[in-house]
Homo-oligomer: A and B are copies of this chain.
Amino acid sequence: MERTFSTDLLAKDGQQVSIAGWLHHQRRLARVTFALIRDAKGIAQVVIEDDRIREQVGAMVPETVLVVVGTAVRTEQAPGGVEIHAPEFRVLSAPTEPPPFELRRPRLNAQLPTLLDNAALAQRHPRHKAITRIAAASVRGFRSTLDSLGFTEIHTPKIVGSATETGANVFEVDYFGRPAYLAQSPQFYKQMMVGALERVYEVGPVFRAEPHNTARHLAQYTSLDVEMGFIDDQSDVMAVLRQVLSGMVREVAHRCPHDLEVVDLELPEVPVDIPSIHFSVAQVMIEEATGNQVVGEPDLSPSDERWLGQWALREHGSDFVFVDGYPMVKRPFYTHPDPERPEFSNSFDLLFRGMELVTGGQRLHRYDEYLEALSEVDLVPLDGYLATFRHGMPPHGGFAIGLERWMARIVGAENVREVTLFPRDLTRLTP
């Protein structure tokens, strides 16, 4: 008999059905046992009255893999409005030990390190599955928006010959006896590909040898990278970023209504016009409002960002706010200066609920500008990158969204590890 998913049972009221999944939990009352069977999509309740079968199921540990054949019966008080009566059970696979935590709890009742040590098991929990599906829908929305805007997906090297992009926090690889490094971002390659396809994106792993274990940093994360040519300035990039975020939210809303309920998540609204404020204006506003001396600082502090998040919500009803024109001193070498005020840059951060979510901006595009910006650096390892600019590049720019940070923010997770399948950090290399 063809398998029915738990979420499709209601449509089979009165019919003989076959379901399959994991024994999530069983409640044994005096004359009846309720068994909950968890599959990929949800949980089905099975009502067992036959003593022989109650005994059979009673001996099973949680996570036993089962096929259950019985009759679907519409029942108001059952979870999902349907349950299975007169069941027969067939065991596909029996666990050799019980789980170290109870998957049946609405929230897993264990400390984060325990959950991460048993990550594959923790991912079976309905809340975790919902988060993974919401992440997948977010990425799908990212891609489909960009596809519709004429962008092409690329795949670039993760092993690179030099550590020169930032110079710090790189992982070294033994590359056939030579030193090589794990790419910290596809920045150079996405710029190089603008010379060919004008508009490109990549979804892939990036690697940072972060020397501290914080709640926001991982040694590997998934970067959603975009780069586009023939822009006037960073405002063209910001406009695409707005469309991308809107597409991500829309795709999650469309594909994951049930998962949003499970996670109890209200999606943010992406305004048609995200409020935007220049870095220098933001500093004056913060200083005037708080009395803290911030004007002249080269960057915003976390409390500055929180203040701006509150301001955007209060004044513009927006969860999002662009801060534009960060000082050049704090931005990477390829950042394009503001032609009118060259101490400021044509680059921006997007804050979401008072925290940085995305960084982006316009890049340098002329070879001589790169030579000047890199005047104190050995250019030999950068030659493949710099050659691009010797052969004619248009004004261009882009941005990168960290998938795990995005997920942590919309789910309200305090630690990015809560929304990462198998996190990697200073101390964690397994599972």
Contact = CB atoms under 8 A, between A and B. Distances in A.
B178 A154 contact: no
A89 interface: no
A285 to B, nearest CB: 35
A172 interface: yes
Contacts of A199: 40
A118 interface: yes
Interface of A: 3, 20, 22-23, 39-41, 63-65, 92-97, 99, 118-121, 123-124, 128-129, 132-133, 135-136, 139-140, 143, 147, 150, 152-161, 171-176, 178, 180, 182, 189, 192-193, 195-199, 203-205, 207, 209, 211, 219-220, 222, 229-230, 365-368, 381, 383-385, 387-388, 390-395, 403, 421-422, 424, 426, 429-431
Nearest to A155: B222
A201 to B, nearest CB: 9
7 contacts: A20-B394, A65-B394, A95-B392, A97-B390, A119-B384, A157-B424, A158-B207
Contacts of A192: 119-120, 123, 431
Contacts of A395: 92-93
Nearest to A427: B176
A180 to B, nearest CB: 6
A110 B318 CA distance: 54
Contacts of A3: 230
B173 A173 contact: yes
Nearest to A229: B40
Give the number of times this chain occurs in the complex, counting copies. Answer: 2
B429 A161 contact: yes
B178 A173 contact: no
* Chain A interface, >50% SS class: mixed
A165 to B, nearest CB: 13
A59 to B, nearest CB: 14
A269 B393 CA distance: 40
Contacts of A388: 120-121
A220 B159 contact: yes
B159 A92 contact: no
B120 A230 contact: no
A115 to B, nearest CB: 13
Contacts of A139: 153
A120 to B, nearest CB: 4
A121 B152 contact: no
Contact of A391 (B99, B129, B152, B204): B99
Given A155-B403, A171-B174, A387-B120, A150 B230 contact: no
A92 B140 CA distance: 34
Contacts of A133: 152, 197
Contacts of A178: 429
